Amino acid sequence: MEQAGEQALSSVVWHPNTQMGEWDEFGEIVQGRGMHLIDKKGRKLLDGVASMWCNVWGHSRPELVRAITRQAARLQHSPLFNLTNGPAEELARMLIETIPGMHRVFYSDNGSTAMEVAFKMAIQYWSNEGDSGRNRIAALSNGYHGDTFGAMSVGYMPGFFGAFKGQLFPAVRFDAPGGREAPGGPTDKEIEEECLGNMEERFADGTIAALAMESGAQVAGGVRIYPRGFQRRVSRICKRHGVLLILDEVATGLGRLGSMAEYEAQGGRPDIAAYGKMLTGGYLTMSATLATKKVYDSFLGGYDENRHLFHGHTYTGNPLAAAAAIENLRMYKRRNLLDKVAKGARVLGGYTEEISGMGRVSDVRHAGMLMGIELSRGAPKGGPSTNKIIFEAGRRNGVYLRTLGDVVMLVPPLAMGPADLRRLVEGTVRAVREAPLDG
Ligand SMILES: Cc1ncc(COP(=O)(O)O)c(C=O)c1O
């Protein structure tokens, strides 16, 4: 029998982060071509969220398709347990050359697992060092690190994860700067100073194993861009107190904000850094947790000392995903991707003032190929969500959009050119204007 609120839905897939009861159909995507997704009805949607922030070059890019099919014909999968494979080795070497200060690469499948690995590395590092009292993870409020239990514990978002609160491990949290200043509330500068002062004080008791934070900006938390110098100052405080710094570059590294290792631009020096999303250009699922020599060396010893990292997944180091990632990173160089990102960032940034001035918009935050448009109007009570309303208005205007809370996210494929970027922003502006929001 149909449940209350459930429509006659043809999809039998349980969709992620979705109130299934508010959908009566999902547009079925049958093809990806360049910067567009094409659905069964032939509607072309400009991919405004890079298919969940991972697409780099657009869809069906011949070089990437060739790299994957070539590898599939040779070796589709072999484990990293007792063995290795060429693409996983080559990719790890490329990552170590690209991401400064890092010594070893641990593979997993997605951003959440990359962060789980990072937390486990940090906690076990201190256990290996004989200081198992240093076992707390610290984090920034509003941070997001994925949907698995460890990731929810550290990147706790009350609106998302309230049902699980009692089962999560306790993390130490600091309010971070970078959001919209509330009228009459503290300034961003005051929030920054208080955050750093609190860290300095809290870290002194020697119980914090690591601080985990997104690098450069908090993305899922509403596109909150850190003030210049903030990450560098955090990094210094961590070093001063021996706290490991875990930087989550899953959404912001590999070019999203303009640098391969965003922490280089921010002036942070992590002990552990996590990458995912763009790693394979958005073609296959793979992530990587990178560690410095100091961290890696603490896991070495005799087998029966139990110092080795207790973590591993079936598809760790999958050669197909690695082949896609190798070709993707080669293309970054060959096609000067960071120059394209810089150009794209200027195009997006050029709209900030105009969008800020729109009715229905309370703030616009932008860095690199990332823009958050904060709405001052939400969905009318009792009806569809803001996300669904904006998605449908976007689709009518030929753009694929997804909101997080009341923030419309623009996270386009990194290589999207100026003409498509203009179409994307202009379609989004029309969608926001036309959407049947409250008021
Ligand atoms: C900063 C950050 N970390 C981790 C994740 C989790 O990645 P995944 O969805 O691939 O598990 C995300 C996903 O959006 C993210 O933005």
Q: Is residue 6 part of a domain?
A: no
CA distance linking residue 349 with residue 355, whole number of Å: 10
> Does residue 7 have a pLDDT over 80?
no
Whether residue 2 is predicted with pLDDT greater than 60 in this model: the reply is no
**Is 314 part of any known ligand binding site?**
yes
Ligand 1, atom 7, lies closest to the CA of: 111
Asked if pLDDT for residue 269 goes beyond 60, the answer is yes
Instruction: Kindly give the distance from the C-alpha atom of residue 110 to the centroid of ligand 1, in angstroms, as a whole number.
Output: 7
Residue 353 included in any domain: yes
What contacts 417, CB < 8 A, 6 or more positions away? 340, 344
Number of domains in the chain: 2
The CATH number covering residue 253 comes to 3.40.640.10
Q: How far, in Å, from the CA of 145 to the mean position of ligand 1?
A: 5
**In whole numbers, what is the pLDDT of the chain averaged over residues?**
96
Atom of ligand 1 nearest to the CA of 52: 14
Q: What is the pLDDT of residue 288?
A: 99
Rg from Cα positions in the chain: 22
- State percent of the chain over pLDDT 90: 94
Domain extent at residue 31: 20-60+337-434
For residues 84 and 175, state if they share a domain: yes
10 confidence band (pLDDT: 50, 70, 90): confident
**Pocket-testing residue among 109, 112, 313, ligand 1, by greatest number of atoms within 8 A of Cβ:** 112
- Whether 341 is in a domain gets the answer yes
DSSP 292: -
Cα separation, 257 vs 370, whole angstroms: 7
Q: Which atom of ligand 1 is nearest to the CA of 115?
A: 4
Q: Which atom in ligand 1 lies closest to the alpha carbon of residue 112?
A: 11
Give the helix/strand (H/E) hosting 104.
strand 104-108
Give the type of residue at 438.
D
* Across 114-130, average pLDDT: 98
352 in the same domain as 315: no
Please tell me the distance between residue 111's alpha carbon and the centre of ligand 1 in angstroms. Answer: 4
What are the backbone angles phi and psi of residue 45, rounded to the nearest 5°?
-115, 125
Closest atom of ligand 1 to 287 CA is: 10
Q: Please indicate, yes or no, whether residues 329 and 405 belong to a single structural domain of this protein.
A: no
Top mutation candidate among 17, 113, 142, 145 for ligand 1, by most atoms within 8 Å of CB: 145
According to the model, what pLDDT value does residue 418 have? 98
Kindly state whether residues 97 and 159 are assigned to the same domain. Answer: yes
Q: Is the pLDDT of residue 109 over 60?
A: yes
pLDDT band at 4 (very low <50, low <70, confident <90, very high): very low
Mean pLDDT of 119-135: 97
| Atom 16 (ligand 1) nearest CA | 251
- Same domain? For 351 and 273 the reply is no
- What proportion of the chain, given as a percentage, has pLDDT over 70? 98
* pLDDT confidence bin for 6, thresholds 50/70/90: low
Alpha-carbon distance 180 to 162, whole Å?
Answer: 24
pLDDT at residue 1, rounded to an integer: 42
Q: What is the mean pLDDT of residues 256-281?
A: 98
Ligand 1 centroid, distance to 434 Cα (angstroms): 30
Whether 113 shows a pLDDT value over 50: the answer reads yes
Pocket around ligand 1 at a 6 A CB cut-off: 110-112, 115, 144-146, 214, 219-220, 248, 250-251, 276
- For residues 280 and 233, state if they share a domain: yes
Q: Give yes or no for residue 321 having a pLDDT over 90.
A: yes
Going from the C-alpha of 22 to that of each of 6, 9, 250, 367, 400, the distances in angstroms are 7, 10, 30, 33, 18
Number of residues assigned to the chain: 439
Residues 323 and 354 in one domain: no
pLDDT of 9 reads 74
Q: Which of 116, 148, 277 to mutate to test the pocket of ligand 1 (most atoms within 8 A of CB)?
A: 277
CA of 114 to the centre of ligand 1 (A): 9
How far is the centre of ligand 1, averaged over its atoms, from the C-alpha of 76 (Å)? 25
Nearest CA to ligand 1 atom 3: 145
Give the residue-averaged pLDDT of 329-342: 98
Q: How far is the CA of 88 from the centre of ligand 1 (A)?
A: 21
Query: Do 269 and 284 belong to one domain?
Result: yes
Give the position, in ligand 1's atom list, of the atom nearest the Cα of 113: 11
Mean pLDDT of 312-331: 98
**Cα separation, 282 vs 248, whole angstroms:** 18
CA distance 330 to 129: 38
Measured distance CA(188)–CA(359) in Å, rounded = 24
Give domain status of residue 2, yes or no. Answer: no
pLDDT of residue 158: 87
Residues 315, 345 share a domain: no
CA angle 36, 41, 47 (to 5 degrees): 20
CA of 179 to the centre of ligand 1 (A): 19
Q: Is 39 among the annotated ligand-binding positions? A: no
**Domain check: are 141 and 269 in the same one?**
yes
Q: What pLDDT shows up at residue 159?
A: 87
Same domain, 144 and 238: yes
Side chain identity, residue 390: I
111 is in an annotated binding site: yes
Is the residue at 68 inside a domain? no
Alpha-carbon distance of 251 to 52, in angstroms, equals: 10
Say how many Å lie between the CA of residue 294 and the centre of ligand 1: 26
Q: What are phi and psi of 333, to 5 degrees?
A: -75, -50
Going by alpha carbons, the residue nearest to atom 8 of ligand 1 is 111
Q: Which of 306, 334, 362 is the last residue of a domain?
A: 334
pLDDT of residue 3: 52
Average pLDDT over residues 282-294: 98
Structure confidence by residue, pLDDT tens digits, 374-413: 999 899 999 999 999 999 999 999 999 999 999 999 999 9
Decide which of 302, 334, 366 is a domain's last residue.
334
In a domain, 84, yes or no: yes
Domain boundary among 334, 356, 389: 334
CATH for 430: 3.90.1150.10
- The pLDDT score that the predictor gives to residue 85 is 98
For residue 218, give the ligand 1 atom closest to its CA. Answer: 1
Instruction: Give the span between the Cα atoms of 144 and 138, in whole angstroms.
Output: 13
Same domain membership, residue 382 and residue 315: no
420/413 Cα distance (integer angstroms): 10
Element housing 321 (H / E): helix 319-334
Contact of 2 with 26, CB cutoff 8 Å: no
